[in-house]
Structure 1
Amino acid sequence: MTISGVEHLVDAYIDHLTVERGSAANTIASYRRDLLRYRGFLARRGVTDLRDVDEGAVRDFLVALRRGDPDNGMPALADSSVARTLIAARGFHKFAAAEGVVDDDVAHAVRPPTPAQRLPKSLPVDDVLAILDAASVPEGPRALRDRALLELLYSCGARISEVTALDVDDIDVEHRAVVLRGKGGKERIVPVGRPALSALDAYLVRGRPALIKKGTPALFLNIRGGRLSRQSAWQVLVDAAERAGIDKDVSPHTLRHSFATHLLDGGADVRVVQELLGHSSVTTTQVYTMVTVNTMREVYATAHPRAR
């Protein structure tokens, strides 16, 4: 195996991402999977040395990702998956060039496809309220926990992982706020509405003491007294939506989308919503403004006598 051998370099690049870049385990797994797909593509073309790869080969890989290759067990991928896989290949070539293994970064000019922008799904306010009410049934410590959990998700627009990671001390009742830890460990302080605080108070007084079995700072507990998992919290929402008769697909992100959309519908500034959601760029948040504009178009089209 030469120093420029594809297999050797894939391992070296993964080590680089793990040790020097400190990439998350999920990111490493994703890159490894994508690069194994790229390595297999090159091997089928008889290429084992990265110095033999040119820009045309990288573009052919892009085409193969989009069209698929059933003969080699390679299904056609959605644009989002194609983009992710090509980004991994581009990073791989950039690494090889930076290390001096190859003279040029031949993948630099090959651009991934832009995935079609999908508008986030949100629920009407009445549907959200129905789900929150359904979380309180049947009564008991778990119902108090479930109501507090869902109230907090909707009140703060938090990610499910942010809420399940909360400790009791992260809730500031006096200032009606909560400390959320988002992606990359970034902290933000988000206000909490009175209904959510009321649900949290009921849970802390009558629910959590009945669930706790050992000392733990975790706010939301499972029936064994440990921290509630992300998967279990997700199931809480699914069960409540089913009891509420909501026939749409509902996930924790649905509540997050609803939080953002309802704020913008109510006149909130998009930059304030950006801070509340913990988005690093306002561009990410602006997709929600498209939702409200589309809603206005629908209302206009059905209500205005000269709309058609």
Structure 2
Amino acid sequence: MTAAVTGLEDQIRRYLDHLAVERGAAANTLSSYGRDLDRYRRYLGSRGVDSLAEVAEEDVREFLVALRTGDPDRDEAPLADSSVARTLVAARGLHKFATAEGITATDVAHAVRPPKPARRLPKSLPVDQVVAIIEAAGGDGAADTPRGLRDRALIELLYSCGARISEAVALDIDDMTTESGAVLLRGKGGRERIVPIGGPAIDALDAYLVRGRPALVSRYNPALFLNARGGRLSRQSAWQVLSDAAERAGLQTSVSPHTMRHSFATHLLDGGADVRVVQELLGHASVTTTQVYTLVTVSAMREVYATAHPRAR
């Protein structure tokens, strides 16, 4: 009977078999769970526990602490939050299974939650680095070629209106007029928004539409940004355009389209824009999503304060 499975090692093996047979878990998943649960088994063994029936909630909570602080006695270093969360998920799954199978009377791990991942601040660039990327678009001696004009217009647009890369490459000619100084973007969930674009972006788009795009188009295509064959520029190609420009500009860090979007939002807030306005410009459904950018500006203010205020330290 199930209840007769008393040894911790056997109980873990039974759970892994359940994942493989009943849940169809992949080999990599089983291997990962196996390593995490072996660590849990060794931890419980060090506390004299050899069966899940002997585990108390305090044991699980202290295992969580041990994952985060490490265990010098067993030469185990602290784990990153993501690894802690993964290991605890494995332990919680084991206890849930044991309860369902009648191995234990209660699920002692049910109330033990993994740590929330640290909130990563969006990566943004200083204005001078953004300008350097724009200036490097198109390559040496190729800035006035059709592709060079397209590349500069694309990067100017990404920074000028904070568009997602998918929104930028989905643009059709009819979605914008340089006379109005605005562009119609279609975001997530089919939501549309009209976003203003600045003078430099308008100039770059005008130059591309007059001298660049006609040389790229081979048949009717409504797409604003075209590839060398006259088709719509793909997300991957647009990403490469930006990456190449950043490399030519001499930036040592990787730059993605989202970096330009983050920079757009951060620079607006640094300039005094209201977070609700930035929310509308970015196309965020909730202002909570936009508020992460305020953390960037607060972080920058702290640095200035720490170096400039006479009693900051």
TM-score if structure 1 supplies the norm length?
0.68
Rounded to whole Å, the distance in 1 between the matches of 2:188 and 2:22 is 29
Q: Distance in 2 between matches of 1:304 and 1:78?
A: 35
Q: Per-residue displacement from partner, 1:153-210 (whole Å, max 9, x unpaired)?
A: 0001111111011111111333211111111222111111111111111111111111
Is the alpha carbon distance of 1:34 and 1:117 closer, same or farther for their aligned partners in structure 2, counting shifts above 3 Å? farther
Does residue 139 of structure 2 align to residue 134 of structure 1?
no
Aligned to 1:158: 163
Inter-CA distance 126–37: structure 2 relative to 1 (3 Å threshold) = same
Paired residue type of 1:155: S
Task: Decide whether aligned partners of structure 1 residues 112 and 230 sit closer, same or farther in structure 2, where only a CA change above 3 A counts.
Answer: farther
Q: Equivalent residue for 2:119?
A: 117
Alignment partner, residue 7 of structure 2: none
The separation in 2 between residues aligned to 1:248 and 1:9, in whole angstroms, is 45
Pairing partner for 1:270 from 272, 275, 299: 275
Residues 6 and 39, structure 1, Cα contact 8 Å, conserved in 2: no
Task: Say whether the 8 Å CA contact 1:34–1:85 is kept in structure 2.
Answer: no
SS of 1:180's equivalent in the other structure is strand
Return closer, same or farther for 1:80/1:257 CA change in 2, 3 Å cut-off: farther
Matched, 1:147 2:149: no
Residue matched to 2:236: 231
The answer as to whether partners of 1:132 and 1:240 remain within 8 angstroms in 2 is: yes
Q: Describe the SS at the equivalent of 1:293.
A: helix
Quick one: which of 262, 276, 291 aligns to 1:286? Answer: 291
Count of residues paired in the alignment: 273
Paired amino acid for 1:120: P
Answer yes or no: is the 8 Å Cα contact 1:222–1:228 preserved in 2: yes
Displacement of 1:136: 4.2
Give the whole-Å Cα distance in 1 for the aligned partners of 2:166 and 2:110. 35
CA 1:181–1:282 in structure 2 vs 1: closer, same or farther (change >3 Å)?
Answer: same
Q: 1:178 aligns with which of 174, 183, 196?
A: 183
Q: What is the CA–CA distance in structure 2 between the aligned matches of 1:85 and 1:33, rounded to whole Å?
A: 17
Q: Is the CA contact (8 Å cut-off) linking 1:131 and 1:240 kept in structure 2?
A: yes
**Cα pair 2:123 2:263 within 8 Å, conserved:** yes
Which ranges in structure 2 are unaligned for 5 or more consecutive residues?
1-17, 39-56, 69-78, 93-108
Cα separation, 1, equivalents of 2:84 and 2:192: 32
User: Match for 1:119: what amino acid?
Assistant: L
Deviating 4+ runs (over 6 angstroms): 5-11, 32-41, 81-87, 107-110
Q: Deviations over 1:83-123 (max 9, x none)?
A: 79999xx9xxxxxxxxxxxxxxxx99675542111111111
Conservation of the 8 A alpha-carbon contact between 1:157 and 1:260: yes
- Residue 205 of structure 1: aligned partner: 210
Q: Is the 8 A contact 2:33 2:87 kept in 1?
A: no
Structure-2 separation of matches of 1:307 and 1:6: 55
Distance 1:224 1:290, change over 3 A: same
Flag structure 1 segments of 5+ consecutive residues without an equivalent: 12-31, 45-55, 67-76, 91-106
Quick check: 1:155–1:259 contact (8 Å CA) kept in 2? Answer: yes
SS class of match (1:190): strand
Q: Give the percent of matched residue pairs that are identical in Structure 1 and Structure 2.
A: 74
- State the 1:80 CA deviation: 5.7
Output the amino acid matched with 2:120: R
The alignment's TM-score, normalised by the length of structure 2, stands at 0.67
| Residues 300 and 136 (structure 1), Cα distance of their counterparts in 2 relative to 1, 3 Å cut | same
Residue 227 of structure 2: aligned partner: 222
Q: Match of 1:246, SS?
A: coil
Contact kept? 2:133, 2:249, Cα under 8 Å: yes
Give the superposed CA RMSD: 4.4
Residues 165 and 218 of structure 1 are in contact (CA less than 8 Å); yes or no, is this contact kept in structure 2? Answer: yes
1:1-308 alignment runs, 5 A limit = 79=81, 111=113, 113-137=115-139, 138=142, 139-308=144-313
